[in-house]
Each structure stands twice: as C-alpha cells, then as structure tokens.
Copies of this chain bind each other. A is one copy, B any other.
C-alpha cells in the first residue's frame, strides 16, 4: 500500500474538486458524487434549504438517504454522510448544527513565505512578499477544512510585519482570489491587521478615539468587504510582545477593539482581539509580577465593555500553550464578554510535530473545568505548511481533524474522533488501528512525563522550544520562572504567594490552593514545594519527578515498537518511523537532563537505583 503524496483523510475520494465549483452547496453535489463513487454507494437525494445556514439534516426513508441543508449546511451534511459511511458507521440522522458559529484556523504565515512556529514547511499561500499558491493544494486543503467544518481561516501571522499590512490594501485583489478558492468549501477568510496601520498612511496617530483613525479603518473595511463580500473579520494582537496597541495612546483595549469593531460591523464582520498582554520585559528579580495573572488583570476590568461583534480570543491556559496549564481564569471570569477559546495545533511547545502529541484528549480534559458554553467561538493556531504532508508528521493531521470535530461539537468523545480519523486515513486491520489510536490517546501524557514535571513548564530550549533547558528561561525577560534551588521548586501562587489562584471562582480557588486537593499534575504550577514533599501515593516529589521521566522514555520505547508493527502506507510509515527515532532521542535527552538537573540540586538518589548522570 503506497500513496504518492499524502493528502489527508479524504484521499480515497480522489482528487479534490476544483475550487471553481461555485457555492458550497454546488460543492456538496460534486463531493457526494466523488465520495459515493469511491465507496460504491448510490448518491443521496439532496435538498437545499435556504435559511438553514450551516445546519443540515440526514434522513432515511424507503431505503433512500436524503440530505437537506443550507449553504454551506448541505456541504457539511454531505461530508458527515460520506465520512460516516467511509468509517462503517450509520449516517448521523436528525438535524445538526455546529455548537460554535465561528470555528477559526489562525495561520501564522508571513508574506515572505516563512511560518512562525511552523513545522510543516513554508506557507501554503505566501512567498516572496506575494500570494502564490498551487490550486490543487488549496482545493485539497479546502476539502479537509470543509469536511470537519472549519469555517474561517485567518491567513497571516498575528505579528503583522514586513509588508503584511498590504493584505488589506494593495494585495486585496490577490486575497480575493484566495477567498474564491476557499469559498466553495465554506471557508471564509480573515486577516490579522496592524493596529498602527494608519501611521503608514500619513495619519499622525493610531489613537482609537481619534475620528480620523476611525474613519481610516472604516474606509479600509469598506474596501476589504467590497473585494471579499463574505470576509469574516480582522484579528488583532495589540500591546503584546512589542506589537503596537491602544496603550500607546492611553486607551483601554475595549476602546481599541470597539473602534475596529465598528469599522467592520456594517459588513457583518467580526473583530477578534487577542487577550495576550503581559510584561515581556520582566525582571527575574521581581517576584511580585506573575505572568499567568496578566490576562485576567488586564481584561477582567473591561468585562462588559466590548461591542457585540468583538470576540476576545483567550489562550486556553494563562501562560502560552504549555503542556500542562490550568484553564485561564479569564475564560471562567469574563461572563459579559464574547470569548473565543484559542488552542494551538502547531506543536510549538509540544514536540514540533516530531514527537507524537494528539490533542483531542487534552481538549476533553479542558471541558471538565471550562464548560463549552463559556465561550462563543474557537480558534486554533494552524499546524499547516507546504510539505507534502501538510502537517509535518502525518499523524499531526489528527489534530486538525479533531479540532474541527471539537469545534463542531465540544462534547465529542476524543477516542471516537481519533478512531474516525484513523479509519478515514489508513486501511489498517482493526487491532492495528486500535493500537494506533491507543498510542495517540496516550501521547500527550507520555510527552508530559518526559518533559517538565507537574505543571512546572518552561524548561524548554529558549527560542526553539524543542528539547530540554532547565534554566533556559530562568533569568530571562519573559516572566517564566520556576526558581528551583537546592531545597524546593516552583512558584507559590496561593494567596500567600502571588495570589494568582484568587483569580479563580471560589471552588476552583480552594481546590488549587490546597496541596491536598490540587490535581497532582498541576502541583508545581500552583505551589512551591520541597523535594521531600509527600505525594498522595507516598512517594516524595523528587522521586515522582525521577519516576515520571524514566517511565516517559519507557513508554516512548513501547510506542516505537507499536509503530513499527503497523502496516502503514508509504511514505507515512517511513516518515513516522523517522520521526519516532527523533522522539526517542528527544525523550532520552529530556529524561537525562531533567533528572540530572534535579539530582544536582537536591542531592537525592533515585530510590530504584536507575542511572542518573552526574
């Protein structure tokens, strides 16, 4: 079994239809024809229901399948039917609609073709300062996104630099052509904009309360929607990591966001404002500033002040896509703001699409503390790129697939989602497929074990964010400290410490504040503890650190055996095995560096006498 080029989970349906197909409902008919031919099924009846929007309904009567749906609902119905049949499941009967109306994919692509935190090659649509793409590739991607219901694609890096401002100016005609390419798949474009963009046009200020600034943005928005009538909106990273923003002019983020929101509102556009403000020039000597507190401290006082078409996009944890973080308290506290939950498919801190790290189990955990209704939209940082395998590791496609499934239905069962992806992607015998899915289900827990312990985070190589560097961020400017010494490790974030825990609702605050009840996986996120602290099973903290790191590597070794036993098609098999070798080396490096680091500090030997290097 061999595939020339990996193209995601719908390759069995043949080449993706040309993006010139027209509307999503037209595409639905094309895809049903393709898919049914491939699966040997008769083509269902379809009915376009104006006004249904994204809804669809699959029904069976007289042995005939009927799919009704709006535009693009009919396309979602077609994909739901085809993927169910391809998986050997019953077609999902009844009327369906997505839980979140906006399901974004945020691409950190730069106009020069590079991708910030991209591990899958260069940008799929930018190169050399212009938009350039392979239509067949975009059709394939559009199909993949449409098949899991991702409906908005922000095309450029939230760090808008190096001419990317032109996307909503002279590059608009090119952007409109890209929008045409994605439109038949129900995918609407968005763009990241530069808050200070008016300064590039002779305005003396970008002050959001300046009428000329507001007028400039209205004119810009009018031009964008004139070129792309179904444009979904703007994304803004302001006052964050040296990006310009309203703070420059003494304005609040509500004032900044609302000004832009009013420019896009007449067109039905959304204004997505990223809540990622923190002191990125912190002095490590300063123990009172605590970066995880930043989002809540900055935005909670603004709760209720944002316009209706503003979405405040908040990262799932209070830091920055670490392996183990508690839910961001801003997501729990801001009940009068339309929030968008942000996750990161790009494995910036989670293995660079070299190490296996399947995210659906993580998102399922997330909903235990973050009820899905707390947020109104979801966004994921993209893991896409120009490599043949558009996600770096062929299995990393499961995260894109799973993200779409969770965005459509946040109560999705992660295992069921991964099984579906595996069935669609590979024709494996059931036992092998189960082995693959088991491996993916465990992969995050395994990665967590061999990297930074118990929610400590940031023991990663600075800049690169792959591989261990226990003190790499310890004396740096980023507010990312663990302050390990010869006796203890971690930051006290209780009321007696930085007080971060007080940002949570009472029940969670009490849970986290008490070392007896705090989930052990978050223990070092909330507490500073001595190495001889007793874990609930009687082990000391230091022994738990050692054990986790030894076990993590043993688990990767077993994963490597499992992987080798799978009859995967080429080139996926070779590519996955190659990356597994790298993961093994990475896991061993993490184990040895972290164990040595804590052994040097604590002087405590491993109770089981395993090798800890000096």
Residue ranges of A at the interface with B (Cβ–Cβ < 8 Å): 284-285, 287, 468-472, 475, 483-487, 589, 592-593, 596, 599-603, 613-614
Contacts and interface: CB of A to CB of B under 8 A. Distances in A.
Contacts of A486: 486, 600-603
A475 B468 contact: yes
A602 to B, nearest CB: 7
Closest 4 CB pairs of A and B: A485-B600, A486-B486, A285-B613, A471-B471
Contacts of A484: 600
B470 A592 contact: no
Residue of A285, A468, A487, A593 ringed by the most chain B CB atoms within 10 A:
A285
A24 B599 CA distance: 65
B593 A287 contact: no
Nearest to A467: B475
A475 B469 contact: yes
A500 B485 CA distance: 31
A596 B285 CA distance: 10
Given A468-B475, A475-B468, A475-B593, A483 B614 contact: yes
Contacts of A468: 475
Contacts of A285: 592, 613
12 contacts: A285-B592, A285-B613, A468-B475, A470-B475, A483-B600, A484-B600, A485-B599, A485-B601, A486-B486, A487-B603, A600-B601, A601-B601
Interface of A is mostly: loop
A603 B471 contact: no
Given A284-B593, A469-B471, A475-B589, 4 more contacts: A470-B475, A475-B596, A485-B601, A486-B601
Given A287-B614, A613-B285, A614-B287, A603 B485 contact: yes
A589 B602 CA distance: 26
Contacts of A475: 468-470, 589, 593, 596
Contact of A470 (B471, B596, B599): B471
A483 B600 CA distance: 8
A592 B474 CA distance: 13
Contacts of A487: 603
A24 B3 CA distance: 71
A75 to B, nearest CB: 49
A50 B25 CA distance: 94
A469 B475 CA distance: 8
Contacts of A483: 600, 614
Nearest to A600: B485
A482 B107 CA distance: 42
A487 B486 CA distance: 10
Nearest to A588: B285
A602 B601 CA distance: 9
A468 B475 CA distance: 9
Contacts of A603: 485-487
Contacts of A589: 475
A485 B604 CA distance: 12
A261 B484 CA distance: 55
Contacts of A602: 486
A527 to B, nearest CB: 16
Most buried by B among A475, A483, A487, A602: A475
Nearest to A594: B475
Nearest to A611: B285
A475 B588 CA distance: 13
Nearest to A484: B600
Nearest to A599: B485
A498 B215 CA distance: 72
A485 B614 CA distance: 9
Contacts of A472: 469, 472
A596 B283 CA distance: 14
A171 to B, nearest CB: 27
Contacts of A284: 593, 613
A596 B486 CA distance: 12
Nearest to A486: B486
A545 to B, nearest CB: 16
Contacts of A599: 485
A472 B470 CA distance: 9
A611 to B, nearest CB: 9
Contacts of A593: 284, 475
A466 to B, nearest CB: 14
A145 B485 CA distance: 51
A498 to B, nearest CB: 13
A614 B483 CA distance: 8
A596 B613 CA distance: 24
Nearest to A488: B600
